[in-house]
Amino acid sequence: MKFYDKQEIFSKALKIYTSGKVFVDFIEASELFPLELKLKKLKQSDLQSDFSSVRDERNLLQKEGLELVYKEFNFKTLGTQLLPIAVLFQDRDVFLQLIKKTQEFNRFEIYYEMIIKNFFSLKEMLYAKPFLVIEYYDIWERLFSVCNFFMLNPRPNIYVRELGIENIDTKFIEKYKKILDKLFTILLDEDSINKEIITLSNYGFEKKYYLKYPLATVRFRILDGSQTIAGLSDISLNIDEFKNLHPKCKIVYIVENKITTLSFPPLKDSMVIFGNGYGVEVLKDVNWLHNKNIFYWGDIDSDGFAILSQVRGYFENTESIFMNKQTIDEFSHFSIVAKTKIKKELKNLTADEQFVFNKVQENNFRLEQEKISFSYIKRILTNRF
């Protein structure tokens, strides 16, 4: 059993350091030091059972250069004893030496002063998160370059590749978006920030700070040979171009699977769009789709019906095809056990679709588009349309 454990003292001191208190003491010029760390309070039984260990451990702490605070204790059988009750750190330097953080803290002092000199408004953030100074100590000057550019050029509306900041490349911006976001939020004017963006994923950084980014691509096929565009029938456009397309067709099929899109049969006055599962969200602002007869075809499983509900939420005129009892009866021998279920309520299903969806959920049923024969697809589409 240890009575005065140097490792325990080290752990307590390190906990204070990692809490940020030492940094706050520096920033605010407060009075954290002299600092006492309490030692274990000894009982008479401890001294009686192993007095030599108590003495040796105390001597070891003194040998290590730790300053001890003593107090007199009166014991019935041992009389008056002078025992250490705390380790005293007269100043920050002694404290840092114990936990071997002198070099790291010196680095903090240098870069904190540099940051505040350049951007005083960051003081509050660094007060709350002082370790940011250390975490990015070797790139602060480059971060300043990026901050200065955006402060002078708000809403640049160019790609990161085009920024042209000296000593800053695309990979630097990509790697340090997280800290740049923290800095921009404080340093940039409110009208230079898109407050609706709350995540950096999916080009969130670019959207939030008005940079260009690669737009989602929509792949589609013109199914009517008389309505091809410049002789092209299989086309991919970015979403902004797709919004301005305004095709002649009256009927639009949206399908979940790419191969199904590519193999969809020729149909008069029609086109087919690769919905890409939940990626169909990119279509929600395509206004000309509201004027088309839309048919959605997804896998007969929980996700398929969830995506159908999603699409109908964007375009209330959407109908489903090949997601019914007839198709299940015809191809149920190709079904497999589904791995997922949808827990949320699907608000945009018809009564018949809701019935099939419930059965799918109850039986962990999954029938993929690829399992439905091409002849069946052609027959149904030809007879129906």
Domain spans, the chain: 6-100, 115-208, 217-384
Q: What is the pLDDT of residue 54?
A: 66
Tokens of 159: 């790609």
pLDDT at 49: 67
367 strand-pairing partners: 300
Segments in the chain below pLDDT 70: 1-4, 42-52, 54, 384-385
Contacts of 106 (CB under 8 A, 6+ apart): none
CA–CA dist 248, 244 (Å, integer): 12
Q: What is the pLDDT of residue 366?
A: 94
- 295-315 pLDDT tens trace: 999 999 999 999 999 999 999
Determine the pLDDT at residue 74. Answer: 78
